């Protein structure tokens, strides 16, 4: 569900898995689905009006589209008792939506998968949260071209075209960071869900002309001790707002599902 960079990368990988019988494609842009289908021998294209047909035809629905798709379609998926993987994790900042998805998944005995996305160390945060986590801080540093500014920061647009040094765009709670940068900080949502929630996880977003990669640093402290992790992700060549690691993490989860081998939590 969604045939952009992430969907295309995932599709190309699962095409090589013998156990996958069909790859069902759907996108609001029908031509995008057709273009991806031309590269996949196992593909079946659905019209954007045929969401329910796609759900019924699938064992696992992978959302790689938008927050709106999570809000409107993911609840339908679990209501039909089908497993789902969510890539637009920022949509789950809506507590009612997340509660509804979890309730329907339990009720209908299906699974919800949230890949680690563009960050590593999520397993460590989950493990640490089994005791007490005191604080979790995420620092996101990206090239200015890889950031979409929210309306309240549009006054910085001109200065970010040719900045002379790093510019701190945001510093505060993850809940607000996800709202302000829905296309840039899915990592903040994943870290929040893995650890101490959207209101206790702190986020700093920096536009830095001195970096060429998307850099995320996580600092965690709790009863287990302390953890510091830094990722320097290669941006997608077609969409600099997306790290190449994001679809790779989804492919890794799919392999766990298909082959039944799970290393890490």
The model's pLDDT over 219-257, given as tens digits with 9 standing for 90+, comes to 999 999 999 999 998 776 666 667 889 999 999 999 999
Domains of the chain: 5-117+245-259 (3.40.50.720), 122-233 (3.30.360.10)
Residue 159: its pLDDT value, please? 80
pLDDT tens digits for range 67-94: 999 999 999 999 999 999 999 999 999 9
Distance CA 4, CA 145 (A): 19
Distance CA 231, CA 219 (A): 12
Residue 164: its pLDDT value, please? 85
Please give the structure tokens belonging to residue 4: 């952009």
Helix/strand/coil for 181: coil
pLDDT lower than 70: segments of the chain? 236-241
Helix/strand/coil for 117: coil
Distance CA 115, CA 128 (A): 18
Distance CA 236, CA 234 (A): 7
What's the predicted TM-score (pTM) here?
Answer: 0.92
Distance CA 75, CA 66 (A): 14
Please give the structure tokens belonging to residue 159: 């200065």
């Amino acid at each position: 569900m969604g045939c952009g960079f992430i969907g295309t990368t995932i599709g190309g990988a699962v095409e090589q898995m013998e156990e996958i019988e069909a790859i069902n494609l759907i996108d609001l842009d029908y031509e995008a689905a057709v273009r991806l289908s031309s590269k996949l021998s196992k593909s079946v294209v659905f019209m954007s009006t045929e969401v329910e047909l796609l759900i019924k035809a699938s064992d696992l629905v992978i959302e790689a589209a938008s927050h709106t798709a999570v809000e409107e379609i993911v609840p339908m998926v679990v209501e039909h008792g089908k497993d789902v993987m969510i890539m637009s994790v920022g949509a789950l900042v809506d507590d009612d939506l997340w509660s509804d998805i979890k309730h329907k998944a339990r009720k209908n005995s299906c699974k919800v998968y949230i890949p680690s996305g563009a960050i590593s160390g999520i397993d460590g945060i989950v493990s640490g949260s089994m005791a007490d986590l005191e604080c979790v801080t995420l620092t996101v540093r990206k090239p200015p071209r890889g950031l979409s500014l929210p309306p309240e920061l549009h006054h910085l647009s001109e200065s970010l075209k040719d900045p002379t040094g790093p510019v701190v765009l945001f510093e505060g709670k993850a809940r607000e960071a996800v709202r302000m940068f829905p296309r840039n900080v899915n990592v903040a949502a994943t870290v929040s869900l893995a650890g101490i929630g959207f209101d206790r996880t702190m986020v700093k977003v920096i536009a830095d002309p001195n970096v060429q990669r998307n850099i995320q640093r996580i600092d965690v402290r709790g009863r287990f001790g302390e953890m510091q992790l830094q990722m320097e992700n290669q941006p997608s060549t077609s969409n600099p707002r997306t790290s190449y690691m994001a679809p790779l993490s989804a492919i890794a989860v799919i392999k766990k599902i298909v082959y039944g081998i799970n290393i890490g939590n």
